[in-house]
Amino acid sequence: MRGIATARPLLLLRAFLAVLLLATQSGSVAHATSLAQWQQQGHVKLDAWLEPSESVAVGEQIRMVIEVSTDSWLTAGTRLGHLEIPNTLVMQRSQLATNYSRREGQQSWAVQRWELVLYPQAEGARTVPPVPVTLSISGPDRQAIVGTLPTPPLQFQAQLPDPSLTEAVPWVAASDLSLKVQWQPEPGGELRVGDSITRTITQYADNTTAAMLPAPPLPSNAKVQAYAAPPVLTDQQNRGAYSAQRVDEQTWLVQQGGQLTLPQWSIKWWDTEQDKLQSLVVPGGQWSVRHTPASAVRAYGGPLLVFLLVLSGLWLGLRWLRRRWQQGRVPLGWQFRVALLKRHYAEANRLLYLKRVRKQGTWLLAPDLSSGLRARWSQQQFAPGGRPSAGALWALWYSIRRPRGWRWPLAIPALNRLGQMRSNLEKSEAEGRIAEGTAANETAAVRDEHQSDSPR
């Protein structure tokens, strides 16, 4: 009996809550139905339209105006439902409505106006779906009539205003756009490695949102290290006029010396007031950067090391050549060239003989020498005035080559020594003839000089 007595109050409580919930739901349905009837009777009006309503440019601002009016009064705040349109940015930039009154005939109407802004992001036709608007209006018995009414569906068309404007090109559609650029330090000055450069770009625009303003590029190269602070976006509304502001701060840390250039940046924007494409330019800057010892080593260490290595190699090579020259071990070609440059023809003749011995194992005037080569050599050796032709001597030099092909070794090695003795004898005879010819040439040259100096 005690359990039954305990359960009975719980059952009564549950029944009371169920009745209360049913009454609440019935009341809300009644209110919704009453608000629809109130609208049918002409006591409530809900209208919506777009400004501009015709075709717009991609990114251009479109105002969606929602107007609620009643011949009674609003007893509570109006709430707008969520609106979502594909490829369109939807914003409610003002959280407050505009309230005023107007007279229609003999009746005064309370009017409340709301605004949403739309920014189409791509070309194509768009349909604005109905927006649910929740109202609370005073009824005939001064009871609040609460309900939700939908706005009528709307449509608009978006298109690119100019063929040069594409998704790859940053641009904005606005009724006005201006820029302000600040450098720290100013371009044209002198910097040192480790200094920083700051550029602050402020964009001002009308009838757009800060989210639509393009972000400036951040140029970077091996001479600088670039940083960008998060942009500061600001949207404002003043008496129905919308404005936007974007502030970008860019910083470059100088890494290398030399001439530093930061490029300019061009912004394209579609003027919605004049329906034409315009552009603004953010100027670049140029500075002269001085090196520090550490940065100079980093910048020119590699080329400088290569230059020092090449210079050291040349110095060592010249020392080696000088030492070999002093020791008489310089290549015959070098000695022959120097002898011709200095006009030491006797030394050139000696080098010709020596090359013949090294290349062919015999002297220049040996019996096995060709008659043509022997004739040329005799002609240059006893040239008039003791000055043979340098070109002819070079021709003789290049005509002396090592015999081609393979030779049979001597059957009796002693014959090689006999050949050397014969070559030494020929050498002595040839040197005697060279000395006689050189002396004769010098005597003739002296005689010619005296004859030319004597008065006629």
176-197 mean pLDDT: 93
Residues of the chain with CATH 2.60.40: 27-159, 171-290
Q: How confident is the model at residue 396 (pLDDT cuts 50, 70, 90)?
A: confident
Q: pLDDT at residue 140 above 80?
A: no
184-204 mean pLDDT: 93
CA angle 297, 299, 303 (to 5 degrees): 85
Q: Which residue has the tokens 């075709």?
A: 55
Q: What percent of the chain has pLDDT over 70?
A: 71
Query: 37, 29 in Cβ contact below 8 A?
Result: no
User: What CATH number does the domain located at 27-159 have?
Assistant: 2.60.40
Q: pLDDT at residue 427 above 70?
A: no
d(CA 338, CA 112): 108
- The chain-wide mean pLDDT, for the chain, equals 79
| Per-residue tokens: 23 | 């009454």
Q: pLDDT at residue 33 above 50?
A: no
Q: What is the pLDDT of residues 321-357, one digit of tens each?
A: 777 766 666 777 888 888 888 888 778 878 877 777 7
Q: pLDDT at residue 433 above 60?
A: no
Lowest mean pLDDT among 12-26, 39-53, 182-196: 12-26
Q: What is the pLDDT of residues 267-280, one digit of tens each?
A: 999 999 999 999 99
230-255 mean pLDDT: 93
58-82 mean pLDDT: 91
How many CB atoms are located within 10 Å of the residue 180 CB? 11
| Per-residue tokens: 197 | 């450069």
Q: How confident is the model at residue 409 (pLDDT cuts 50, 70, 90)?
A: low
Q: What is the assigned CATH class of domain 171-290?
A: mainly beta
Q: How confident is the model at residue 31 (pLDDT cuts 50, 70, 90)?
A: very low
210-233 mean pLDDT: 93
d(CA 31, CA 131): 19
d(CA 328, CA 324): 6
207-221 mean pLDDT: 93
